[in-house]
Amino acid sequence: MSVESSKGPRAEIENLLMESRRFPPDPAFVARANATAALYEEAERDYVAFWERLARERISWYTPFDRTLEWDLPFAKWFTGGELNISYNCVDRHVERGLGDKVAYHWIGEPGDTRTLTYADLLRDVGKAANALKELGVRKGDRVAIYMPMIPELPIAMLACARIGAPHTVVFGGFSAEALAGRINDAEAKVLITADGGWRRGKAVGLKQHADDALVDTPSVESVLVVRRLGDAVYMLEGRDHWWHEVVERQPALCPPTPVESEHMLYLLYTSGTTAKPKGIVHTTAGYLVGTSFTHETIFDVKPDDVFWCAADIGWVTGHSYIVYGPLANATTSILYEGAPDTPAWDRWWRIVEDYKVTILYCAPTAIRAFMKQGEAWPQAHDLSSLRLLGSVGEPINPEAWLWYHEHVGGGKAPIVDTWWQTETGMILITPLPGVTTTKPGSATFPFPGVEADVVDGDGRSVPFGGGGYLVLKRPWPAMLRGIYGDPERYRQTYWSRFPGMYFTGDGAKRDDEGYFWLLGRVDDVMNVAGHRISTTEVESALVDHRSVAEAAVVGKSDAVTGQAIFAYVILKAGQEPSEALALQLREHVAHVIGPIARPRHLLFTPDLPKTRSGKIMRRLLRDLAEGRVLGDTTTLADAMVVDSIRAASGRGEDE
């Protein structure tokens, strides 16, 4: 994680783009909201006592904890002395209180097949899967790797691991064999759970073949459990590979949950590092359960009759926290969808919302901008009136995408919770509370109750309201990472060395005159133009503010005079045609909205942008393209052909 020296004249990131539109809470929503302003007051009086109360109220304990927080910076332990089981808290206790018939998941496969799982179904299936893992030799503390499509067996496998105290590491089903092998080896996983394949954009994706390629070099794996999803013939190594339907289905349904200590490792989730080796982020049990369940209930205002849809993949932390553990701990009914938003057509999501009467939708700005590009006719063709709250996650959302989402998906009525958090944080940390917070399009607003965030300059000094800088966290929170697996020194250096006593998020941020937080993306993406430190996010937001633009990505390109010049990649809305005149108009639009310093020097119309499989724009590749360099690692690209299409478009680029 590189951060420029603070010794120059401009140690802060400049605050350039202003947003004055405001959306106060609707009084009818306020009257029924789960959260109140009193939460902030309670948490500020004594944040440790605040989390202690929630842990005692929200969790079913085998042994109550006797100490709330042990903080030996940068290592935290929460709720020590306690014993619990997260699988019991997510499933058994709901069945015991009469909710066995309540739907846990409505599952929709991409080809159109469906399944409905109640909490009683989940209890039975998790018990069987846990007993199958025991038969395969998995014991408390053993690691289990999971490499699966978005099918019900994925959360079942996670809960089965948690039931017997075996930490899981879920590897996104779009990752390569090489990426899978690296994660298995770092975790020293004993068992791999996978599937013969899954569906993505109308195509069968052969996961078992990728798994077999990975298993050539993964000596820790003793057994492989394979779910039959596609029904195609796959290679099965005798003695190592076992069909899920053969091993799991013959198990007894009863598997008593294993009590584990509060700080017992629940899972490892790998995130890209600045070096080639991914970081194994460690999350433990009790604090994570408190943080995810409470944020889920308050931020999404979840009621017993809601149908909640987090449209992420479980392979990312968003899916861990807000498809599996948070919603299940709250006995919520969720949507689980296997496929892509554009298959078979761009109204697939809206059809699901209409068919299942979805009330809460949580998705990424990338998806919203993709829908914007296609036009509002797709959502307008469906009844979306069931939606009462919308959420955004994954990267900063630009104001125009926020407003489009509010108007064309939320009907101009549903409040939007624009959330900021990370794989490392485990839970949402900066967010509006619906029914409490007046929102501003593009702002994540304020830290969640109990969370202390700040914006600092390069020397770690708090930047006054109205300024920009580096986003830091100044106190521990329950769902925080407990370290990088097997490498405590790397943990200390990566997150705690830049600003002593503070967790450095790696993100830039600004606060407006009222203290609202505005996320500016990764610090590595900040451009230095003629001594001005300009966030790519602000220039991108100004471009998307133009009526012709669906999406934009901005990077800095080396310039002999100014240090860097702004290079903009622009995707136009359907029906708009690129032209020299439009390029000039867009440049002037940015200069008008932000100021002349932010006017792009180079502007390229492109049909698409390089994105990871989680939907994040790979600005590193865009910088390589802008500079004419050999491209870096492209293995995490969702579509490798995008780079070729950008190169083809480069002949139509417009420079000043």
Pairing of strands 532-534, 549-559: unpaired
Q: Do domains 27-449+457-506 and 526-655 have the same CATH topology?
A: no
pLDDT for residue 653: 55
Q: To 10 degrees, the CA torsion angle through 240, 246, 249, 251?
A: -50
- Give per-residue pLDDT as tens, 79-92: 999 999 999 999 99
Per the DSSP assignment, residues forming a β-bridge with 519 are 509
Measured distance CA(299)–CA(292) in Å, rounded:
10
State the architecture of 526-655 in CATH terms: 2-Layer Sandwich (3.30)
In this structure, what token pair is assigned to residue 307? Answer: 């149908």
Q: What are the boundaries of each domain within the chain?
A: 27-449+457-506, 526-655
- Give per-residue pLDDT as tens, 19-45: 779 999 999 999 999 999 999 999 999
Residues 255 and 233: beta-carbon distance below 8 Å: no
**Residue written as tokens 């990975």?**
214
Average confidence score pLDDT of the chain: 92
Average pLDDT for residues 179-192, to the nearest whole number? 95
pLDDT for residue 635: 55
Question: pTM of the full predicted structure?
Answer: 0.87
Measured distance CA(187)–CA(173) in Å, rounded:
17
Average pLDDT for residues 438-454, to the nearest whole number? 97
Please report which confidence band the pLDDT of residue 2 belongs to, taking 50, 70 and 90 as the band edges.
very low
Residues 404 and 398: beta-carbon distance below 8 Å: no
- Give per-residue pLDDT as tens, 55-73: 999 999 999 999 999 999 9
- The set of residues, in sequence order, having a beta carbon less than 8 Å from that of 130 and lying 6+ positions away, is 87, 160, 161, 163, 164, 255
Average pLDDT for residues 210-232, to the nearest whole number? 96
Q: ∠189-76-191 over CA atoms, to 5°?
A: 10
Please report which confidence band the pLDDT of residue 237 belongs to, taking 50, 70 and 90 as the band edges.
very high
Following DSSP, what letter does each residue of 359-371 receive, concatenated? -EEEE-HHHHHHH
Lowest-confidence segment of 272-286, 423-437, 442-456, 636-650 by average pLDDT: 636-650
Measured distance CA(479)–CA(426) in Å, rounded:
5
**Would residue 67 be called left, alpha or beta, if left means φ above 0 and alpha means ψ between -120 and 50 degrees?**
beta
Tally of CB atoms within 10 A around 595: 15
Closest CA to 467 of 532, 513, 430, 520: 513
Per the DSSP assignment, residues forming a β-bridge with 199 are 204
pLDDT for residue 538: 82
pLDDT for residue 275: 44
Looking at per-residue pLDDT, the higher value among 593 and 99 belongs to: 99
**Sheet of strand 307-310: strand arrangement:** 114-118, 103-108, 333-337, 307-310, 360-363, 389-392, 416-418
Measured distance CA(430)–CA(418) in Å, rounded:
8
In this structure, what token pair is assigned to residue 653? Answer: 């680029």
Average pLDDT for residues 362-384, to the nearest whole number? 94
Q: Using the predicted structure, report yes or no on whether residue 636 has a pLDDT greater than 60.
A: no
Q: To 10 degrees, the CA torsion angle through 285, 290, 291, 292?
A: 80
Q: Using the predicted structure, report yes or no on whether residue 193 has a pLDDT greater than 60.
A: yes
Please report which confidence band the pLDDT of residue 619 belongs to, taking 50, 70 and 90 as the band edges.
confident
Measured distance CA(506)–CA(487) in Å, rounded:
19
DSSP assignment letter at 138? -
44-50 contacts at long range (C-beta below 8 A, 24 or more positions apart): 44/449, 47/450, 47/452, 47/475, 50/449, 50/450
- The set of residues, in sequence order, having a beta carbon less than 8 Å from that of 382 and lying 6+ positions away, is 347, 350, 351, 353, 354
What percent of the chain shows pLDDT beyond 90?
78
CATH (one of 3.40.50.12780, 3.30.479.10, 3.40.50.1820, 3.40.50.300) for 27-449+457-506? 3.40.50.12780
Please report which confidence band the pLDDT of residue 655 belongs to, taking 50, 70 and 90 as the band edges.
low
Please report which confidence band the pLDDT of residue 639 belongs to, taking 50, 70 and 90 as the band edges.
low
Q: How many residues does the chain have?
A: 656
